Amino acid sequence: MDYFTLSIVVILLSGFIVGHVMKRKHLQINVDKYLVFFVIVLLFLIGVSLGNSETIVQSLTILGLKSLALALASILGSAVVAYVITRYVK
């Protein structure tokens, strides 16, 4: 296991242990509001990282078309399955 993976596992495990100890001592912290904030910050930083990548910026058209095709195929497939289920399953 490399250093990066080990550090992620240690951080996750230490958070689990802290949460478990707090639960056993009946200490409650509302982490939901903090969690949403940090997820938003993380998404922002990922966007900054992607925006700085020349490869991603140059591939936006191709990625956009593939994403559109995948979304349309998912919608069409779901509609077909829903039609078949409602039509033939009673």
Give residue-wise pLDDT tens across range 20-52: 888 888 777 777 778 889 999 999 999 899 888
Q: Which residues contact 9 (CB under 8 A, 6 or more apart)?
A: 1
Say what the pLDDT of residue 90 is: 67
Model confidence at 82, in pLDDT bands (50, 70, 90)? very high
- In the predicted structure, residue 68 carries a pLDDT above the cut 90: yes
- In the predicted structure, residue 78 carries a pLDDT above the cut 70: yes
**What average pLDDT does the chain have?**
88
To the question of pTM greater than 0.85 for the whole model, the response is: no
